[in-house]
Amino acid sequence: MELNLYQKRNIISFLQILLIFTLLIALPSCSSKKKEEMKNPPVPVVADTSVLKDIPVQINSIGIVESYSTVSVKSLVPGQLMKVYFKEGDFVKKGELLFKIDPRPFEALLRQAEANLAKEIALAKNARDQMKRYESLIEKGFVSKDDYDRIHSNAEAQDATVEADKALIQNNRLQLEYCSIRSPIDGRTGSLMVYEGNIVKANDDDALVTIEQVNPIKVSFSVPEHFLSDIKKYMGEEKLKLEAIIDKEEKNPEIGVLSFVDNTVDKSTGTILLKGTFENKSRRLWPGQFANVILTLTTEEKAVTVPSPALQSGQAGQYIYVIKPDMTVESRQVKVGRVYKGDTIIKEGLVSGEKIVTDGQLRLIPGSKVIIKPPVVKAQ
């Protein structure tokens, strides 16, 4: 059936009215949704992910560097100082010549002792020959027993005199060797206390120079006594690693091992004294210098860690905002452990791989919608 023009116009008018009515119903709903989004927009936050890491168990302390050994060099013989073979602050090797004492008086004494020895050897030979002659005479009864005993004692006394002269020569040679003073260790010389031309005394109270051994070197430090049981436990398993950090050199510490635990706890401070040994090949550690010391006891393997800024504190304890798949957040109570290089170990409440908020928490409440923004890179 074909519609006339009037009917067609009525149908078109009806459809137009229906469309307008539908739009009027839909517009308030869209406007309300937009208003709601404008009222509670997504909060921009910086996010990160919890990960598994091997975290070392460490003790931090302040230590002081000590030389491995210190030697005060003194003269064992008196005399005039003829020559100094080093400069103040030089590194010297063990056995290297340091000082020369005038040897001429000791050379004269040695020659005199050698001459006396030659004389006594000759007298001893004559005494032995005379004793042999008396032995044959006493057998024949030509000399008395008292005369023979006197000649025999004289020969033995002369032999003893020869041995004494030999010992005197050894002593004079030793005194002559002491005129050349050599370094007993490898180390660095300090201030020179006596200069060429001065008269030195044997075993004087003041040293000629002090030598500090710095390769290897020691660092002493103290830790609270409650760490002692753990230190003794892990010392029995392996050598404990030490790091000594000098000011502004955290990325390049000196590496050593724990070498000494004191046999008593300091009652006044409640601490135990420890010492570490370092090779110190670069000689960056210097006696008397302060250093940050890190003692590594063991390693906690596969610990759940998060960046420390992710942690927040509330009345119920510490919590973390966890980002759910729908980009809303939930507040998760956690139990935390140690902090290591900006990361905190999470003992309970979080598993590896969860996305967490590390910045922007002040504007968040549980259920808030978030949008992740890139972290701000600090200028170097």
CATH number at residue 343: 2.40.420.20
DSSP class of 125: H
pLDDT at residue 81 tops 80:
yes
In which domain, by residue range, is 343 found? 43-56+302-372
Q: Is residue 15 domain-resident?
A: no
Length of the chain as a residue count: 380
Quote the pLDDT of residue 131: 80
CA neighbours closer than 13 Å in the CB half-sphere of residue 307: 13
Residues 320-340 pLDDT 10s: 999 999 999 999 999 999 898
User: Measured in whole angstroms, how far is the alpha carbon of residue 28 from the centre of its chain?
Assistant: 73
250 in the same domain as 292: yes
Tell me how far apart the terminal alpha carbons of the chain are, to the nearest angstrom.
Answer: 84
Domain identity same for 132 and 235: no
Pairing type for strands 335-340 and 343-348 reads antiparallel
Q: How far apart are CA 29 and CA 32, in angstroms?
A: 5
Q: Quick one: DSSP state of residue 217? A: E
User: Are 113 and 172 in the same domain?
Assistant: yes
pTM, entire model: 0.69
Query: Which of 207, 170, 165, 195 minimizes the C-alpha distance to 76?
Result: 207
Parallel, antiparallel, or unpaired for β 370-372 and 43-49?
parallel
The CATH number linked to 94 is 2.40.50.100
Which tokens hold the place of 87? Answer: 């400069």
The CA distance from 375 to 320, in Å, is 18
Question: Three-class SS of residue 105?
Answer: helix
79 and 201 both lie in a single domain = yes
Considering the domain architecture, whether residues 356 and 245 belong to the same structural domain is answered as no
Residue 24 has pLDDT above 80, yes or no: no
Distance CA 249, CA 216 (A): 20
Same domain flag for 294 and 196: no
| Residues ≥6 apart with Cβ < 8 Å to 360 | 43, 44, 45, 46, 370, 373
In a domain, 225, yes or no: yes
**CATH at residue 260:** 2.40.30.170
Rounded to a whole number, what is the largest CA-CA distance in the chain? Answer: 189
Model confidence over 107-122: pLDDT tens digits? 999 999 999 999 989 9
Residue where a domain stops, chosen among 248, 276, 298: 298
SS3 141: coil
Residue 170 neighbours by CB distance under 10 Å: 12
Residue 18: predicted pLDDT: 65
What confidence score (pLDDT) does residue 236 get?
A: 84
Question: How much is the pLDDT for 128?
Answer: 84
Q: What are phi and psi of 140, to 5 degrees?
A: -90, -5
Q: What is the mean pLDDT of residues 175-187?
A: 95
Distance, in Å, from the CA atom of 203 to the CA atom of 164, rounded to the nearest integer, reads: 26
The confidence score (pLDDT) of residue 25 equals 58
**CA of 202: how far to CAs of 206, 217, 263, 366, in Å?**
10, 30, 37, 84
**pLDDT tens sequence across 294-306:** 999 999 999 999 9
Phi, psi of 139 (to 5 degrees): -65, -30
Domain count, the chain: 4
- Quote the mean pLDDT of the chain: 87
Least confident of 78-82, 154-158, 183-187, 200-204: 154-158
Q: What pLDDT is attached to residue 126?
A: 86
Residue 366: asked if its preceding bond is cis (omega within 30°), the reply is no
The whole-angstrom separation of Cα 232 and Cα 260 is: 11
Region of poorest pLDDT, from 29-43, 174-188, 261-275:
29-43
262 lies in the same domain as 308: no
CA distances from 257 to 58, 108, 147, 227, 246 (A): 13, 53, 76, 17, 17
**φ and ψ at residue 69, rounded to 5 degrees:** -155, 150
CATH of the domain at 161: 1.10.287
DSSP class of residue 287?
T
The verdict on 112 and 155 lying in the same domain is: yes
Amino acid type, 252: N
Mean pLDDT of 147-156: 81
CA distance linking residue 181 with residue 366, whole number of Å:
80
Question: Do residues 164 and 224 both lie within one domain?
Answer: no
pLDDT tens digits, 184-208: 999 999 999 999 999 999 999 899 9
Same domain, 240 and 251: yes
95 and 130 assigned to the same domain: no
